[in-house]
Structure 1
Amino acid sequence: MSGISDIPVLLRPRRFGDERGWFSETYSLPAAARLGITQPFVQDNLSFSAQQGTIRGVHFQLPPYAQNKLVRCVRGSIMDYAVDLRRGSPTYGQYVGAKLTADGGEQLHVPVGYGHAFVTLEPDVEVAYKVTELYAPEHDAGIIWSCPEIGIDWPLPESGPVLSDKDKKLPKLSELVSPFQYGGRPLEPLADI
């Protein structure tokens, strides 16, 4: 399969188990290239969230530092989202989501042109993700998690979300002048590879 690099894709790397546990190849440049993901990853990030209901997002970086992301949960579980922010897209403002678990090893590829967000489904969660551009604070951007134009139905505990001060102040989708251009392929239900 080729050319999927412009839409979010759910990856399920194989695990090889025996009496010791299991082994999994979580990233391979040739395997990514076969999927159309050809831009090299240049930075690995790891986040820890102590509380269930911690939301991080909806985040993205502006060009020329826009990032592809390859996201996986290495401890606990999250609900992970990609929001279409490509100007002119027939699916602009729509999202896809997938549950990522440490036990399952699932990964979500979030290409340039999409906002990324996740919520922790339990306490003490660690999320690892690769990005194709270095963090550039002056190009850091986002959309408010509760944006009614997007309408994510967050699976939150009764206590509500745990948010950073920055994430509480992000603008709505209607306030974004998107720098991302639609490339001809609308958002689709997540392909499971």
Structure 2
Amino acid sequence: MKFHASRLPGAFSIELEARSDQRGFFARTMCLDELHQHGVDVSFIQQNMSYSASKGTLRGLHYQKPPAGETKLIRCTAGVVVDVIVDLRRNSPTFLQHEMFELTADNHRQVLVPEGFAHAFLTLADNTEVSYLVSAAYTPSAEGGLRYDDPRLAIQWPDPVTSLSEKDAGWPLVEEGADFGYDGVGE
């Protein structure tokens, strides 16, 4: 695995190192030793998958507040997504800044989303699947979210959002006092 540091501290884009032959290829998608070598102290306890039938489906911006915060390792297994992370750590030099990554079934890239970040993705193709490892169990009482179209975040989505859950449409704007629960860097 090749780790590329994001401009947001603690987040990485990860390229798989495929070993190819006439049958296809093999690649390691997660290795705790390699994560630890890059300063990521995590143990994944759950794997989730989403399927979106239509291009333009947006899921997010989601996060879980401490003590139920999550680190995620995101991978697109079919189709194409633009994956967005937002730094919610109030004392971080990149507080409320975001970064965007294109993940496809063909490019085999992954995004490591540290605890203290909101996460979302927009499908850029029909029949898109996303798989992700998570470091903490889903805790409804710790759930939080931000609006994908919040002017304070200024995210320029590459395609129109055509499908969005009621819950995701109803998240508060930052200026409305969204509760992140994160004060420090690296929490």
Same-fold status (TM-score > 0.5): yes
Where 1:10 maps in the other structure, the secondary structure is strand
Deviations 1:5-63 (A, max 9, x none): 95211000101111111111101111111111122000000000011011111100111
Give identity over the alignment, percent: 37
What code does the residue aligned with 2:167 have? K
Q: 2-side partners of 1:165 and 1:95: how far apart?
A: 23
Where 1:126 maps in the other structure, the secondary structure is strand
Q: 2-side partners of 1:181 and 1:16: how far apart?
A: 42
Q: 2-side partners of 1:123 and 1:131: how far apart?
A: 25
Q: Does residue 183 of structure 1 match 2:185?
A: yes
Q: 1-side partners of 2:68 and 2:10: how far apart?
A: 18
Equivalent position of 2:106 in the other structure: 103
Q: 2-side partners of 1:106 and 1:173: how far apart?
A: 30
> How far 1:112 moved relative to its partner?
0.8
Deviations 1:67-92 (A, max 9, x none): 00100100011000110111132322
For the 8 Å contact 1:71–1:130, the answer to whether it is kept is yes
Taking structure 1 as the reference length, the TM-score comes to: 0.88
Equivalent position of 1:191 in the other structure: none
Q: 2-side partners of 1:42 and 1:97: how far apart?
A: 25
Equivalent position of 2:120 in the other structure: 117
Q: 2-side partners of 1:22 and 1:90: how far apart?
A: 40
Deviation >3 Å, runs of 4+? 3-6
Equivalent position of 1:61 in the other structure: 64
Q: 1-side partners of 2:23 and 2:174: how far apart?
A: 48
Q: 2-side partners of 1:30 and 1:63: how far apart?
A: 25
Q: Does residue 169 of structure 1 match 2:170?
A: yes
For the 8 Å contact 2:32–2:42, the answer to whether it is kept is no
Where 1:181 maps in the other structure, the secondary structure is coil
Deviations 1:134-163 (A, max 9, x none): 111121110011100001111224xx4310
Equivalent position of 1:154 in the other structure: 157
Taking structure 2 as the reference length, the TM-score comes to: 0.91
The aligned runs of 1:1-193 (5 Å cut-off) are 7-157=10-160, 160-174=161-175, 175-183=177-185
Aligned residues: CA RMSD: 1.9
For the 8 Å contact 1:6–1:112, the answer to whether it is kept is no
Considering Cα pairs closer than 8 Å and 6+ residues apart, tell me whether 1 or 2 has the greater RCO: 1
Q: 1-side partners of 2:41 and 2:94: how far apart?
A: 24
Q: Which runs of 5+ in 2 are unaligned?
A: none
Deviations 1:111-136 (A, max 9, x none): 01110011001000000011110111
Q: 2-side partners of 1:86 and 1:183: how far apart?
A: 6
Where 1:86 maps in the other structure, the secondary structure is coil
Where 2:95 maps in the other structure, the secondary structure is coil
For the 8 Å contact 2:144–2:179, the answer to whether it is kept is no
